[in-house]
């Protein structure tokens, strides 16, 4: 065990809701500490999102104390010892110290206990196995402090055993390295992930999706993805060819344009060359409808955007809308092989800022006045008129609009022999 360290300047720990919870749980012979990601992030000097607490008190006692203190409790995972306490609208997961008795994936059989060392040793990575008490003392039973200092992501104990307990830890190994690591991957962990890759098909698509989307927006995403490819891990996850070079180009473009990292843009760059790829990913990763449509649009004939004149680009922007146009241009740019300073792509991506698409001015009433009744034919003629309006360069003058309407009616009538 590493000697305890002191966490200094931590108002999130010593005041407010966290301090209140620790004080409530530390009474009458019980002990509570903040564990996991909050401790890791505090030591790394990065933002703390969720605060999880471990305690020697059994779940029923946690609920009893919360009720007495007027704190809402939700039994989110009480069979595994977890109760969610809600203070001022903020949830805190409070989990009783535990030790795995039997392990089979996510459905481990656990026994509650009071041993902080055993509780730490059942976690995934050393940087996640740290705890801090109400006084700010950091307790390290797994070598996490040294790995925090080295920015090293390392499994606790035997990597093969940790992975066999939950094969999602393979993805988490690369995701955590991408987010918090530096330098080369821990070799023992990397080799264990390769050995355990046969367990990836046992994971649900939803869990894989969550980890992959988080991984793709991490600072070290590219290196992690390349390592996964080299280890034969991307194919069982994505089910198709991966394009790390296009991902690298997309990351460079995002940074050059000061855009926030986009998981969908990066997933598209990595995996989508044609629309069929988007549909495959939708199934493999159980993407939402919105995510699937975004990828499908991104991959739809993206190569046609290279070399367009301004008028054609305006028509494409009108058809796609700003978001879809923006995403497809970025994918085409990343796949073009041209750098972030390329003048054509910079001009094209700026089109929505320079030009706002007008609204199609002709309405159903304009064609009802020309003898069309409501129905499919009316919708068809409106669509034809819109095509003609686009081809004419978006005219808005009444004379031009009347001419388009008349010509469309004549053409429709001729073609359909009305």
DSSP secondary structure string for all residues of 227-270: HHHHTT-HHHHHSS---HHHHHHHHHHHHHTTPPP-HHHHHHHH
pLDDT at residue 418 in the model: 46
The continuous run of DSSP H or E covering 5 comes out as strand 2-6
More confident residue, 337 or 414: 337
| Tens digit of each residue's pLDDT (9 = 90 or more) over 148-163 | 999 999 999 999 999 9
- Quote the tokens at residue 86: 């809600």
Given a cut of 60, whether residue 104 has pLDDT beyond it is no
Q: How far apart, in whole angstroms, are the C-alpha atoms of residue 308 and residue 328?
A: 13
The H helix count followed by the E strand count for the chain is: 23, 10
DSSP secondary structure string for all residues of 121-147: HTSSBGGGS-EE-TT-EEEESSSHHHH
Per the structure block, which two tokens stand in for 298? Answer: 């991104």
- Whether residue 321 contacts residue 241, with contact meaning beta carbons closer than 8 Å, is answered with no
Rounded Cα gap, residues 272 and 246, in angstroms:
10
Fold of the 1-150 domain: Beta Polymerase; domain 2 (3.30.460)
Q: Which of 355, 356, 334, 333 is nearest to 344 (CA)?
A: 333
User: Residue 222 — pLDDT band, cuts 50, 70, 90?
Assistant: very high
User: Could you tell me the pLDDT band of residue 80, with boundaries at 50, 70 and 90?
Assistant: confident
Q: How confident is the model at residue 34 (pLDDT cuts 50, 70, 90)?
A: very high
- What pLDDT shows up at residue 8? 83
What is this structure's pTM?
0.89
Note the pLDDT of residue 18: 94
The pLDDT mean for the chain works out to: 94
pLDDT at 228: 97
> For residues 126 and 140, what is the distance between their CA atoms, to the nearest angstrom?
9
pLDDT in tens, 183-194: 999 999 999 999
What's the CA gap between 326 and 174, in Å, rounded?
29
> How would you class 56 by CB atoms within 10 Å of its CB: exposed for 0-12, middle for 13-18, buried for 19 or more?
buried
User: CB-hemisphere CA count at 13 Å for 314?
Assistant: 15
In the prediction, which pLDDT does 357 show?
93
Return the residue matching tokens 């535990």.
98
Instruction: List the chain domain ranges.
Output: 1-150, 305-354, 364-416
Beta bridge partners of 32: 55
pLDDT tens across 268-285, in order?
999 999 999 999 999 999
Q: What whole-number distance in Å separates Cα of residue 70 and Cα of residue 352? A: 52
pLDDT at 2 > cutoff 60: no
The pLDDT of residue 343 is 97
For strands 72-77 and 82-87, give the pairing. antiparallel
């Amino acid at each position: 065990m590493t000697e305890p360290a002191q966490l200094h300047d931590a108002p999130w720990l010593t005041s407010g809701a966290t301090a209140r919870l620790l004080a409530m749980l530390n009474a009458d012979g019980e002990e509570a500490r903040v564990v996991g990601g909050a401790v890791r992030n505090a030591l790394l000097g990065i933002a703390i999102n969720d605060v999880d607490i471990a305690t020697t008190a059994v779940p029923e006692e946690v609920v009893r104390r919360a009720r007495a203190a007027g704190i809402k409790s939700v039994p989110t995972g009480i069979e595994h010892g977890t109760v969610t306490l809600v203070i001022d609208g903020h949830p805190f997961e409070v989990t009783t110290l535990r030790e795995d008795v039997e392990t089979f994936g996510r459905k481990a059989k656990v026994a509650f206990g009071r041993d902080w060392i055993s509780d730490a040793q059942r976690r995934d990575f050393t940087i996640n196995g740290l705890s801090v008490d109400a006084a700010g003392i950091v307790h390290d039973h797994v070598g996490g402090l040294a790995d925090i200092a080295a920015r090293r992501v390392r499994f606790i104990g035997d990597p093969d055993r940790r992975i066999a307990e939950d094969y999602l830890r393979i993805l988490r190994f690369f995701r955590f390295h991408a987010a918090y690591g530096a330098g080369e991957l821990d070799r023992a962990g990397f080799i264990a992930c390769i050995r355990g890759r046969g367990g990836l098909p046992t994971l649900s698509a939803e869990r894989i999706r969550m980890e992959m989307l988080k991984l793709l927006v991490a600072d070290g995403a590219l290196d992690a993805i390349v390592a996964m490819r080299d280890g034969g891990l991307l194919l069982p996850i994505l089910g198709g060819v991966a394009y790390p070079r296009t991902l690298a180009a997309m990351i460079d473009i995002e940074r050059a344009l000061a855009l926030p990292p986009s998981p969908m843009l990066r997933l598209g760059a990595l995996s989508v060359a044609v629309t069929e790829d988007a549909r495959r990913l939708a199934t493999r990763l159980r993407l939402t409808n919105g995510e699937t449509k975004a990828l499908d649009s991104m991959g739809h004939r993206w190569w046609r955007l290279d070399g367009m004149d301004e008028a054609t680009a305006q028509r494409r922007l009108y058809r796609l809308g700003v978001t879809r146009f923006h995403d497809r241009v970025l994918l085409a740019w990343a796949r073009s092989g041209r750098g972030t300073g390329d003048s054509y792509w910079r001009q094209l991506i700026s089109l929505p800022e320079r030009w706002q698409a007008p609204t199609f001015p002709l309405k159903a009433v304009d064609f009802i006045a020309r003898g069309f009744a409501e129905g499919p034919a009316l919708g068809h003629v409106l669509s034809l008129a819109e095509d003609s309006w686009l081809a004419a360069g978006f005219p808005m003058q009444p004379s031009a609009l009347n001419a388009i309407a008349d010509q469309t009616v004549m053409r429709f009538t001729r073609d359909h022999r009305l």
